[in-house]
Amino acid sequence: DGGITQSPKYLFRKEGQNVTLSCEQNLNHDAMYWYRQDPGQGLRLIYYSQIVNDFQKGDIAEGYSVSREKKESFPLTVTSAQKNPTAFYLCASSPILGTQYFGPGTRLLVL
Amino acid sequence: KNEVEQSPQNLTAQEGEFITINCSYSVGISALHWLQQHPGGGIVSLFMLSSGKKKHGRLIATINIQEKHSSLHITASHPRDSAVYICAAPLSSGGRGGGADGLTFGKGTHLIIQP
């Protein structure tokens, strides 16, 4: 079955620690995205990538980093510089001109 | 940068009622998205539309590009329709219809359909 997988479903981070959220798609989509959702707020764009080895900052990129070494994969690292990392993180992918498909999400909690 | 507003923020209705959720955006676009988010957090794309009307089962989405306004309707609503419905538009006016440079989202409409 084609789709987007995110792992883990829940992730705990200690103060000062970097953590990496995984996102994989087998839909052969060129574009991939990371969004963050906080209670009572709409989703906000962290980073996006339209092609391998290239990515762009979204509205709230500070404290995050990404890589796009393969078309299928777009991991997001939440660095220690992100002061308020507790949130629900959603990965999505799309053809360049098409609908975005979303993964199941990862909930990140700070211990 | 596009800004998206949705209304109402919360909506409770009885089973069978006709539901309307509204969305307006600030910058001209070529397409708008309607999404559904269930309590577990998973998001499903319902519609991407650039003009007129689209229908899928009991869901109908309309858009007026000139007025920068879209509506999502649910006919014969059912408790399983209870979810958060989110409107989204490409971040920038120059963006391609799918929003390949990312989407900006409304805050969502929390819909509860009571039996």
Q: What is the pLDDT of residues B94-103, one digit of tens each?
A: 544 445 678 8
B21-45 average pLDDT score: 88
Tell me what the pLDDT averaged over chain B comes to.
89
The whole-angstrom distance between A20's CA and the closest CA on chain B is 20
A102 close to B (CB below 8 A): yes
Q: Which residue has the tokens 């499903």?
A: B44
Single-letter amino acid code for the residue at B91: L
**Pairwise CA distance, residues A7 & A107, whole Å:** 10
A62-69 average pLDDT score: 97
Peptide bond into B8 cis (omega under 30): yes
% of chain B exceeding 90 in pLDDT: 66
Determine the pLDDT at residue B91. 76
**Pairwise CA distance, residues A52 & A73, whole Å:** 9
Residue B64 corresponds to which tokens in the numbers above?
């007026």
- Residues of chain B positioned with their CB less than 8 A from the CB of A31: 98, 100
* A45·B102 Cβ contact <8 A: yes
- Residues of chain A positioned with their CB less than 8 A from the CB of B97: 97
DSSP B27: S
Determine the pLDDT at residue B26. 87
* B43·A94 Cβ contact <8 A: no
B13-31 average pLDDT score: 91
